[in-house]
């Protein structure tokens, strides 16, 4: 059931002097709704009516209740939009700044909502709490802001259950980086990293949130692809943390290997591996001219393992750190495995070692300079099979031949590759038609180059994502079940 819009509909919007609050006030006002904008400073352009108030003060919150009761006698929409950001590490953040940001971002939201809830119950209205995608994932140097938004998310979800029987809806709005000048008004000593294209648009967010209010949504993400960022942060916390450490420049000694490692392990048809967690580095492990024991030189420390299935056969991907420089390790490899095949680049060595007639081992070494240990990935390749039982949930265009598939049981995800006689355009069109019949929907945007075509898909029930690419007669597909 949609929320109706009449001449008597009244919306109170806090933080209406700028940014998202100003855009929302303008949007609701253009739709014929009586808007009561609230802020400490008068906006340049007033949409509807404006009341000067500081919502952190109990007396000002009481004033707002009296204004609504005496002037309109009702309230249909409460938009808690006032807030501020913080760019500082927990060590840098002063206690007064932490209390101030919680006072505005959370306590004022809860207290004002409690003050106005009787009016919202009478009208069976809607409470819209402007949280953030930072309320669903942690962000270094924004810990205080994230904590307030996590609190708002939990508050919204619990409040929704409590007021449902009164016909009141609670929307948790979760915008990402929106171009509103938000960072210029934030507290803290740090400057936020640049966002490509300067962030998204406040007016578009207001349009989407207005539609979400009309449709009585529970959560509104903007942009929608931030849900994938949240999934990445929760599923691959090591990669996410290392990326943030680099972005925020928290450790200038950090090896710049994140993108190179992910690229090698996601795209290499030889290794076919995924990074699920990254090791803590140790700069004391450099080779300082000491002798090397060949028996232990390739034994990594901090070893992690990830079970996987290749073409139906079980194996294990291992990851660890080797405390020697790559040149010394390469000499040992040549000594121990003279018949192995080596692919040597500036900072990487890929060794293809034959263990027996049907068993092979792949060893990938990545160097980040003499100051850092080597990152080592090792995997035993199961014997080749003549027949591949291709998983039914992975698309396979007509005229295609499966080459391999990999299943990561702990991650509930699959990766597959195949050859095809179709052109990239034909193969992609056929896959879109097949997936559409099974409830999959393509996500806006696609990977398009001179000889490559790709598409990203999502399915709601059960929730899953899929990425598929075609180039030069080869298809690659990745499938992830987010909810079993």
- Residues 377, 268 share a domain: yes
Nearest to 428 by CA among 476, 362, 365: 476
**Percentage, residues of the chain above pLDDT 90:** 38
> How confident is the model at residue 195, as a pLDDT?
56
Check 17, 86, 367, 413 and give the catalytic one. Answer: 17
- Residues 456, 417 share a domain: yes
1 within a domain of the structure (yes/no): no
- Residues 202, 317 share a domain: no
234 within a domain of the structure (yes/no): no
As a whole number of angstroms, the distance between CA 97 and CA 472 comes to: 56
> How confident is the model at residue 36, as a pLDDT?
96
- Residues 409, 353 share a domain: no
317 has pLDDT over 90 = no
> How confident is the model at residue 370, as a pLDDT?
59
279 within a domain of the structure (yes/no): yes
- Residues 270, 350 share a domain: yes
239 has pLDDT over 80 = no
- Residues 208, 136 share a domain: yes
Q: What is the CATH number of the domain that holds 361?
A: 3.40.1000
As a whole number of angstroms, the distance between CA 424 and CA 411 comes to: 29
CA 154 to the chain's CA centroid = 19
239 within a domain of the structure (yes/no): no
Check 27, 47, 86, 149 and give the catalytic one. Answer: 149
230 within a domain of the structure (yes/no): no
As a whole number of angstroms, the distance between CA 472 and CA 474 comes to: 6
As a whole number of angstroms, the distance between CA 427 and CA 128 comes to: 44
> How confident is the model at residue 144, as a pLDDT?
96
For the chain, give the mean pLDDT: 82
As a whole number of angstroms, the distance between CA 217 and CA 185 comes to: 30
Which ranges constitute the DSSP H helices of 268-390?
326-336
Q: What is the CATH number of the domain that holds 49?
A: 3.40.50.720
Mean pLDDT of 143-160: 97
Strand order in the sheet with 219-222: 49-52, 34-39, 10-14, 77-80, 126-130, 169-175, 219-222
> How confident is the model at residue 14, as a pLDDT?
97
> How confident is the model at residue 265, as a pLDDT?
43
pTM: 0.55
The total of other beta-carbon atoms located within 10 Å of residue 39's CB is 23
232 within a domain of the structure (yes/no): no
Nearest to 136 by CA among 151, 124, 122: 151
> How confident is the model at residue 303, as a pLDDT?
62
Least confident window among 185-189, 395-399, 448-452: 448-452
Q: What is the CATH number of the domain that holds 431?
A: 3.30.160
- Residues 266, 209 share a domain: no
**Which domain covers residue 421, as residue numbers?**
400-481
328 classed as catalytic: no
Q: Read off the pLDDT band of 170 (50, 70, 90).
A: very high
- Residues 361, 274 share a domain: yes
145 classed as catalytic: yes
The total number of structural domains in the chain stands at 3
- Residues 286, 316 share a domain: yes
> How confident is the model at residue 204, as a pLDDT?
92
- Residues 294, 203 share a domain: no
3-state class (DSSP) for residue 64: helix
19 within a domain of the structure (yes/no): yes
Domain boundary among 225, 243, 269: 225
- Residue 462: asked if its preceding bond is cis (omega within 30°), the reply is yes
- Residues 318, 185 share a domain: no
Q: Give the list of residues 6+ apart from residue 344 with CB closer than 8 angstroms, or none.
A: 330, 350
Check 27, 87, 145, 405 and give the catalytic one. Answer: 145
- Residues 330, 287 share a domain: yes
Domain boundary among 208, 225, 242: 225
Mean pLDDT of 227-244: 84
29 within a domain of the structure (yes/no): yes
């Amino acid at each position: 059931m949609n929320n109706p819009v009449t001449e008597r509909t009244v919306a109170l919007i806090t933080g209406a002097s700028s940014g998202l609050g100003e855009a929302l006030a303008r949007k609701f006002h253009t739709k014929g709704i009586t808007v009561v904008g609230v802020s400490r400073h008068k906006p340049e352009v007033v949409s509807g009516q404006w009341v000067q108030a500081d919502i952190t003060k109990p007396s000002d919150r009481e004033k707002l209740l009296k204004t609504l009761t005496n002037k309109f006698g009702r309230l249909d929409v409460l938009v808690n939009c006032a807030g501020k950001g913080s760019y500082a590490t927990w060590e840098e953040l002063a206690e007064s700044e932490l209390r101030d940001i919680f006072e505005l971002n959370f306590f004022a939201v809860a207290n004002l909502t409690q003050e106005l809830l009787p009016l919202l119950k009478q009208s069976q209205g809607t409470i819209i709490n402007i949280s953030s995608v930072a309320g669903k994932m942690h962000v270094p140097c924004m810990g205080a802001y994230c904590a307030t938004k996590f609190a708002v998310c939990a508050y919204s979800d619990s409040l929704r259950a409590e007021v449902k029987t009164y016909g009141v809806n609670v929307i948790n709005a979760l915008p990402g980086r929106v171009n509103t000048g938000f960072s210029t008004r934030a507290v803290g000593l740090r400057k936020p990293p640049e966002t490509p294209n300067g962030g998204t648009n406040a007016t578009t967010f207001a349009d989407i949130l207005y539609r979400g209010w009309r449709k009585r949504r529970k959560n509104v993400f903007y942009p929608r692809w931030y849900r994938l960022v949240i999934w990445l942060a929760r599923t691959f916390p090591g990669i996410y943390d290392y990326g943030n450490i680099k972005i925020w420049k928290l450790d200038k000694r950090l090896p710049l290997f994140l993108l190179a490692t992910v690229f090698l392990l996601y795209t290499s048809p030889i290794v076919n591996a995924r990074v699920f967690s990254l090791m803590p580095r140790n700069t004391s492990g450099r080779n300082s001219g000491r002798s090397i024991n060949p028996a232990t030189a390739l034994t990594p420390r901090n070893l992690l393992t990830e079970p996987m299935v290749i073409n139906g056969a079980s194996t294990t991907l291992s990851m660890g750190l080797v405390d020697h420089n790559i040149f010394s390790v390469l000499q040992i490899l040549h000594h121990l495995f003279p018949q192995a095949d080596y692919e040597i680049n500036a900072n990487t060595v890929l060794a293809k070692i034959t263990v027996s007639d049907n068993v092979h081992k792949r060893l990938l070494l990545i160097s980040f300079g003499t100051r850092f240990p080597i990152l080592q990935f090792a995997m035993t390749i199961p014997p080749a099979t003549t027949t591949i039982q291709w998983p039914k949930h992975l698309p396979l265009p007509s005229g295609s031949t499966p080459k391999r598939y990999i299943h990561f049981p702990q991650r509930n995800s699959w990766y597959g590759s195949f050859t095809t006689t179709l052109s990239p355009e034909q193969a992609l069109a056929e896959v879109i038609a097949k997936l559409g019949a099974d409830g999959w929907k393509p996500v806006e945007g696609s990977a398009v180059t001179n000889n490559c075509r790709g598409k990203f898909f999502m399915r709601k029930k059960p929730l899953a994502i899929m990425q598929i690419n075609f180039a030069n007669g080869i298809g690659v597909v990745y499938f992830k079940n987010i909810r079993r």
